[in-house]
């Protein structure tokens, strides 16, 4: 099955902000409730160790709360680490709530940040994308990786779904999960509740975007091809694979060979 760049509603500029923010909250709730990113903690540590600034920039953060369990674990070992949340459509209120979880660790950019064109003050830091790399077409995805190489920035991308049976099977439960989890998701977004329980367009949009995300994800072979197409890619140490366990996370990460980690 080849990658198909299907439409995702949340990517559209005119899409209702309250619906997009609810989708962000839903994904954050699932990620934190089941701590799905716990297996990639060793990769995060490698990326931070390779960053000369010991700083971490998360692109396409959504609300950022899904990083809280990882941040707490990292903070115990590296109390000085700083995490900057960014997004093309920044959800400032969600960023503020995340910052309150660990005020000494989290900060955020209030302006729109394009992952393909990071401002100079964010370059050279450890860059991550969680469940967001599939939003970018191949040329754009290559630009993100090339930027990391050009600025000597360690980078890691993580996707909790892939083009496989398990991911498609999980979509069967999305609508039911939205209906069950919504009362427990904070903050309560009263304006979206009619579109969940009376006219269920939001569960349907989340289901559609979930399926579209699967078709958009890059296979291991495609991720390797992106790396091979980069200029000076041999200046980085790359790894492509997936974690073990019932909810494997597909990943790609690269670390400059010039860091002490690889000397």
User: Could you tell me the residue ranges of all domains in the chain?
Assistant: 9-262
**CA quadruple 245, 247, 252, 255: dihedral positive or negative?**
negative
Report pLDDT digits (tens) over 90-106: 888 888 988 998 999 99
Dist. CA 260–CA 31, nearest whole Å: 32
pLDDT for residue 258 is more than 80: no
Is it the case that residue 77 has pLDDT exceeding 80? yes
User: Could you tell me which of 253, 247, 251, 252 has the C-alpha nearest to residue 36?
Assistant: 247
User: 138 or 93: whose pLDDT is higher?
Assistant: 138
Is the peptide bond prior to 90 cis by the omega test (within 30 degrees of 0)?
no
The model's pLDDT over 10-44, given as tens digits with 9 standing for 90+, comes to: 888 899 988 988 888 888 888 778 878 889 999 99
Classify domain 9-262 at the CATH topology level. Rossmann fold (3.40.50)
Tell me, what's the pLDDT at 260? 46
Q: What is the pLDDT of residues 195-224, one digit of tens each?
A: 999 999 999 999 999 999 999 999 999 999
| pLDDT for the residue 263 | 38
Residue 52's pLDDT band (boundaries 50, 70, 90)?
low
């Amino acid at each position: 099955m080849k990658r198909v760049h299907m439409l995702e509603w949340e990517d559209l500029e005119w899409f209702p902000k309250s619906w997009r923010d609810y989708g962000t909250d839903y994904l954050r709730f699932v990620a934190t409730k089941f701590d799905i990113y716990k297996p990639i903690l060793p990769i995060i540590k490698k990326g931070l160790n390779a960053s000369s600034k010991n700083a971490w920039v998360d692109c396409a953060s959504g609300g950022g709360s899904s990083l809280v369990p990882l941040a707490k674990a990292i903070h115990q070992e590296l109390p000085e680490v700083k995490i900057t949340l960014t997004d093309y459509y920044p959800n400032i209120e969600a960023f503020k709530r995340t910052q309150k979880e660990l005020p000494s660790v989290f900060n955020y950019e209030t302006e729109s940040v394009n992952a393909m064109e990071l401002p100079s003050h964010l370059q050279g830091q450890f860059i991550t994308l969680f469940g967001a790399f599939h939003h970018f077409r191949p040329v754009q995805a290559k630009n993100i990786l090339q930027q990391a190489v050009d600025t000597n920035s360690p980078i890691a991308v993580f996707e909790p779904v892939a083009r496989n049976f398990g991911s498609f099977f999980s979509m069967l439960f999305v609508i039911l999960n939205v209906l069950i989890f919504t009362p427990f998701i904070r903050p309560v977004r009263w304006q979206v509740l009619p579109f969940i329980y009376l006219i269920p367009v939001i569960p349907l949009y989340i289901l559609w975007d979930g399926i579209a995300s699967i078709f958009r994800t890059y296979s291991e072979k495609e991720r390797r091809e992106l790396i091979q197409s980069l200029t000076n890619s041999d200046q980085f140490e790359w790894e492509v694979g997936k974690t073990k366990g019932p909810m494997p996370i597909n990943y790609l990460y690269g670390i400059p060979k010039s860091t002490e980690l690889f000397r």
